[in-house]
Amino acid sequence: MNSQTLVREAYEIVRRLRDNGYAGYLVGGYVRDTLLNREVKDVDIATSALPEQVMAIFPHTVPTGIKHGTVTVVMLHHAYEVTTFRKESGYRDRRRPNRVEFIAELREDLERRDFTINAMAMDAEGKLIDPFGGQADLRDGILRCVGDAERRFDEDALRMMRCIRFAGEYELQVERQTWEALMANRGKLKHIAMERIRGELERMLEGSHPYQALLLLSQSGLLSYTKAETGLQFTTGQVVQREQVLSVIAKLDDAWNKWALLLLTLKISPSSASQALRRLTFSRKNQDGICRIASFHEWLSGELELLNPRMEAALSGGKAADSMNRELATVWKKGALLHTPDIVRRWLSIYALLTAEALAADTVKPEISMLIERLVQNGQAWLDEIQAATLKDLAIGGSDLLALGAKPGPWVGRLLAQLQAEVVLGSLNNDRDELLRRSQQWIEEMIRYDE
Ligand code: ATP
Ligand code: MG
């Protein structure tokens, strides 16, 4: 994304509004992120022009949220949400105001916004308009509600989740009255749809400082007050104790891996995780992906615990490191077979980071951490050795088996899976003739057994 054209075109919109006799400002996240020298992802614009007036000025617009005063203005490179100044009243369900009133003044529009750092504007000349001291709060590292915090959280309970997200993301201290109001209003989180809770949690975990957000979440206890019970609760003690491991979440570049590391750090079992993610309305695909990493971890830990005493005995018996490694490789490849190479690779990227920071031992039983280190060293090479990672990669297919002369039946699929397992574990080569020979043998045994 080209942030230069993003900002240039936004100013162009604001000037065009002004040239047509309306007030127009850049608002919200753009102003905050610019003051922090952060990269800007989008620019929202507020104006005194009514939606139809905005649509009359710009040739290419989309009425995306007319009821709330929002028109999307499409420029050459980017699209912008241009929203008429408004105030909101009568928060019926503690989430959406039931009435939106368009107004002429910027100040009132800023007043309805949640936090002082989000309630600033810039005019067409780039001059800052900051009636609630957002810039000073940013400088002092403080997150504060605009106006009476108690009322603001009562109006819209989602703001409590946003509070924690912003405090985490920008490493801000939540101002005392804001925090007290949050604690007093926690129960109202039950009015918020789980999708929105999930959205905030995802942004916390995928943001710059997930540890800070998790710490505040634990201190607030907010997650105990969601509409659907997630079971995703953790104490401040747990979070603090695992600070270093949880800080690694920020260094992972994939959302599934981040969630998986969170779950395994907090020792949440795959089945509880599955329930929590379902209640949080994660898509089927994301639930599965995240839980499969957690399941693989659980399976692998169990296998390593079984393997470990034998490894130690082998070591003290002076057995070659080679044969130890072979056994470990077999467990690993079996993991790829049962849990798919993709999931195994994801686990590997999590543990490569943990191992690099000498933290792997904090997440598993101490006796198996040596084995984990070996896996991190060799896991990728062992995955590369796998000749038939999927059934499709097998050198023969179902029609080859049928050509051997036996009647079609469920045995075809079973035999293919068996062959793949033997290839993955290295007892057969992925070689057409070798596989056909082995199949012939198997079919003969089957026929003999049938007779
Ligand atoms: P980011 O997009 O980086 O999360 P943002 O500040 O742009 O941050 P948005 O959710 O895009 O956040 O909202 C844009 C602006 O609208 C905010 O800066 C804030 O002024 C206002 N706003 C958004 N949600 C609320 C809310 N629930 N209550 C009050 N004001 C809100
Ligand atoms: Mg935004």
Q: Model confidence over 7-50: pLDDT tens digits?
A: 999 999 999 999 999 999 999 999 999 999 999 989 999 999 99
Q: Are residues 146 and 162 in the same domain?
A: yes
What pLDDT, on the 0 to 100 scale, is given for residue 173?
A: 98
What pLDDT, on the 0 to 100 scale, is given for residue 91?
A: 59
| Boundary residue ending a domain (132, 156, 183) | 132
Which residues have C-beta within 8 Å of that of residue 391, sequence separation ≥ 6? 416, 417, 420
Indicate the range of 16-30, 138-152, 177-191, 386-400 predicted with least confidence.
386-400
Considering only residues 431 and 324, tell me which one the structure prediction assigns the higher pLDDT.
431
Distance CA 415, CA 422 (A): 11
Q: Please, what is the end-to-end C-alpha distance for the chain in angstroms?
A: 69
pLDDT band of 361, cuts 50, 70, 90: confident
Residue at 249 is within a domain: no
Q: Which residues partner with 142 through β-bridges?
A: 173
Which residues have C-beta within 8 Å of that of residue 264, sequence separation ≥ 6? 294, 297, 363
Nearest-CA residue for atom 27 of ligand 1: 159
The pick from 84, 113, 165, 206 for probing ligand 1's pocket by mutation, whose C-beta has the most ligand atoms within 8 angstroms, reads 113
Distance (angstroms) between ligand 2 centre and the Cα of 118 equals: 10
Q: Are residues 45 and 164 in the same domain?
A: no
CB 358 within 8 A of CB 394: no
Distance CA 303, CA 347 (A): 15
Q: Is the CB of 114 under 6 A from ligand 1?
A: yes
Residue at 237 is within a domain: yes
Residue at 257 is within a domain: no
- DSSP element (H, E) containing 369: helix 369-385
Q: Is the CB of 118 under 6 A from ligand 1?
A: yes
pLDDT in tens, 221-271: 999 999 999 999 899 999 999 999 999 999 999 999 999 999 999 999 999
| Boundary residue ending a domain (99, 132, 165) | 132
| Position in ligand 1 atom list of the atom nearest CA 166 | 4
Q: Are residues 343 and 438 in the same domain?
A: no
Distance (angstroms) between ligand 1 centre and the Cα of 119 equals: 9
Q: Are residues 359 and 418 in the same domain?
A: no
Nearest-CA residue for atom 21 of ligand 1: 113
Q: Indicate whether 109 pLDDT > 70.
A: yes
Residue 161's CB is within 10 A of a number of other CB atoms, namely: 25
383-389 mean pLDDT: 90
Nearest-CA residue for atom 4 of ligand 1: 29
Q: Indicate whether 95 pLDDT > 60.
A: no
Q: Is the CB of 156 under 6 A from ligand 1?
A: yes
Of 118, 112, 147, the C-alpha closest to 130 is: 118
Q: Indicate whether 322 pLDDT > 80.
A: no
Nearest-Å Rg of the Cα atoms of the chain is 29
What pLDDT, on the 0 to 100 scale, is given for residue 320?
A: 63
Q: Indicate whether 119 pLDDT > 80.
A: yes
Q: Is the CB of 28 under 6 A from ligand 1?
A: yes
Distance (angstroms) between ligand 2 centre and the Cα of 189 equals: 22
Q: Are residues 8 and 83 in the same domain?
A: yes
Distance (angstroms) between ligand 1 centre and the Cα of 118 equals: 7
pLDDT in tens, 48-84: 999 999 999 999 999 999 989 999 999 999 999 999 9
Distance (angstroms) between ligand 1 centre and the Cα of 162 equals: 9
CB 152 within 8 A of CB 181: yes
What pLDDT, on the 0 to 100 scale, is given for residue 344?
A: 97
Q: Is the CB of 44 under 6 A from ligand 1?
A: yes
* Residue 71 backbone phi and psi in degrees, to 5: -125, 135
Amino acid letter, residue 428: L
Q: Is the CB of 97 under 6 A from ligand 1?
A: no
Q: Are residues 117 and 183 in the same domain?
A: no
Distance (angstroms) between ligand 1 centre and the Cα of 219 equals: 23
The pick from 34, 35, 44 for probing ligand 1's pocket by mutation, whose C-beta has the most ligand atoms within 8 angstroms, reads 44
CB 113 within 8 A of CB 129: no
Q: Are residues 327 and 300 in the same domain?
A: yes
What pLDDT, on the 0 to 100 scale, is given for residue 390?
A: 86
* Domain total of the chain: 4
Of all residues in the chain, what percent carry a pLDDT higher than 70? 96
pLDDT band of 309, cuts 50, 70, 90: confident
Copy the structure tokens of residue 361. Answer: 């031992």
pLDDT band of 451, cuts 50, 70, 90: low
Distance (angstroms) between ligand 2 centre and the Cα of 44 equals: 7
What mean pLDDT value characterizes the chain? 93
Residue at 263 is within a domain: no
CB 111 within 8 A of CB 30: no
* Secondary structure of residue 426 in the 3-state scheme: coil
Copy the structure tokens of residue 51. Answer: 């939606």
What pLDDT, on the 0 to 100 scale, is given for residue 407?
A: 83
Residue at 251 is within a domain: no
Residue at 32 is within a domain: yes
CATH number for the domain harbouring residue 189: 1.10.110.30
Q: Indicate whether 321 pLDDT > 80.
A: no
| Boundary residue ending a domain (86, 102, 132) | 132
Q: Are residues 34 and 128 in the same domain?
A: yes
pLDDT band of 156, cuts 50, 70, 90: very high
What pLDDT, on the 0 to 100 scale, is given for residue 427?
A: 87
Distance CA 199, CA 22 (A): 34
Nearest-CA residue for atom 12 of ligand 1: 29
Residue 344's CB is within 10 A of a number of other CB atoms, namely: 26
Q: Are residues 72 and 97 in the same domain?
A: yes
Distance CA 161, CA 88 (A): 20
What pLDDT, on the 0 to 100 scale, is given for residue 90?
A: 61
CATH number for the domain harbouring residue 419: 1.10.246.80
Tally of residues, the chain = 451
Which residues have C-beta within 8 Å of that of residue 75, sequence separation ≥ 6? 9, 12, 13, 60
Distance CA 85, CA 106 (A): 6
| Position in ligand 1 atom list of the atom nearest CA 119 | 20
Q: Are residues 1 and 128 in the same domain?
A: yes
Of all residues in the chain, what percent carry a pLDDT higher than 90? 79
Q: Are residues 128 and 181 in the same domain?
A: no
Q: Which domain holds residue 438?
A: 391-450
What pLDDT, on the 0 to 100 scale, is given for residue 111?
A: 96
Q: Is the CB of 109 under 6 A from ligand 1?
A: no
pTM of the prediction?
0.91
The pick from 30, 114, 189, 205 for probing ligand 1's pocket by mutation, whose C-beta has the most ligand atoms within 8 angstroms, reads 114
Residue at 273 is within a domain: no
Q: Are residues 5 and 120 in the same domain?
A: yes
Residue at 21 is within a domain: yes
